[in-house]
Amino acid sequence: MIGVDVKLRRGDFTLAAAFASKARILALHGPSGSGKTTLAHLVAGLAVPDEGHIAVNGATLVDRAQRLFVPPEKRRIGLVFQDALLFPHLDVKTNILFGRFFTPKAERRVPFEAVIETLGVAHLLRRRAGALSGGERQRVGLARALLCSPRLLAMDEPMASLDYDRRQEIMTLIERLRDEFSIPILLVSHAADEILRLADEVISLEKGRIVAKGLPSETLAAASRHIEGGRFSVVSALEAHVGAYDTRYGVTRLAHPAGEIIVAAHVANGDRQVRVLINATDVALAYHKPENTSIRTVLLGRIAAIDEDESPLAFVRLELEGGGKLVSATTRLSVAEMNLSVGAQVYALVKSVALDERELGAGA
């Protein structure tokens, strides 16, 4: 779907990245200054690489060796920006139809009504772009990018300026776009939860270089040990069966072969699988099941790997009883003093669990 091999130098910053991916949603992840936005701009044609080539869906967009450079207006890469960047002098409808106007009739394969319906922007069409809230702006921005029937949607931190609820809403919409319009998506994001939920594949960048590439659940942990504050962005995803909702305490019990998972929320519709997200920093390890502790979620597993090097931090990856992977962020000191080693059986004490709102099976 997308093939990139580029080099770019701008002052002190050098970007050198080569990858190919067939993922439906490919995430570019990394701290600010890692080059992920530059990479998206190179794909969209807003920057020119010094060397290399870029191809999307079989169409070569840049090839420096052949002096080929397709200008951005001919690439049909739908760009979605962090702050939406709607045209402030136009109303919402004209904004949405802007790209469609320039799309050749034969290429207009994304229907207007379907986009309006999916993104729920019908009631906004007559409003001025400047009068929208953050979430509304982003939905209009998505509609605008979609209606030029792009080869690829490139989203640059599309949820970074939204609050929690709006982010969940936009993530659901991105999943629906992926499933209903089958357009591949390049998602630039620094937020692990977004990538874990949305991406099929992730490329981790640091200082202009690719440091890891692979499944989000495995790649993010390996890359983030080296990033300051990175341990806070390592998240594990687990699937569990919805059990009883305890009305007295407002918690829902989920069944997992490795132990009971308590979610401090009401999970509707019993008898189905849901996904929960667990921050690596919320997972402690113990050899024995503790008796007197406030922690309710205790999962049994076996140590599959220990990631550590000279940094004080270590990530312990567990293979849970009955399947499922869980990462615990700890220190090298703990690993040494507890004498943790691969293969050892441990209990994971999980302090807090967040429910992933994604519908399971809706397109995976």
**Segment contacting another protein by CB under 8 A, of 75-83, 190-198, 246-254, 284-292:** 75-83
Task: Residue 51: count other Cβ atoms within 10 Å of its Cβ.
Answer: 13
Q: Which stretch binds another protein (CB under 8 A): 21-29, 87-95, 183-191, 199-207?
A: 87-95
For position 71 contacting another protein by CB under 8 A, the verdict is yes
Q: Which of 110, 148, 174, 262 binds another protein (CB under 8 A)?
A: 148
64 token code pair: 């420096």
**Sheet arrangement for strand 2-10:** 68-69, 59-63, 51-56, 2-10, 13-21, 209-214, 201-206, 25-29, 185-189, 152-156, 77-80
Nearer to another protein, 47 or 222 (CB): 47
Nearer to another protein, 14 or 103 (CB): 103
Nearer to another protein, 82 or 281 (CB): 82
d(CA 169, CA 256): 27
Among 130, 257, 290, 363, binds another protein (CB under 8 A): 130
- Distance between CA 343 and CA 341 in Å, rounded? 6
Query: In which region does residue 176 sit, left (phi positive, over 0), alpha (psi from -120 to 50) or beta (all else)?
Result: alpha
Binding residue for another protein, selected from 7, 64, 128, 296, defined by CB under 8 A: 128
Residue from 20, 131, 255, 360 in contact with another protein (CB under 8 A)? 131
Task: Give the nearer residue to another protein in terms of CB position, either 45 or 324.
Answer: 45
Instruction: Please classify residue 70 by burial: count the beta carbons closer than 10 Å to its beta carbon, then call 0-12 exposed, 13-18 middle and 19+ buried.
Output: middle
Taking CB under 8 A as the criterion, which residues in 20-49 touch another protein?
Answer: 44-46
Q: 69, 98, 232, 245: which one contacts another protein (CB under 8 A)?
A: 98
- 39: its two tokens: 């990479």
Q: Closer CB to another protein, residue 7 or residue 128?
A: 128
Under the rule (CB under 8 A), what is the footprint of another protein?
44-46, 71-79, 81, 85, 87-89, 98-99, 101-103, 128, 130-131, 144-145, 148
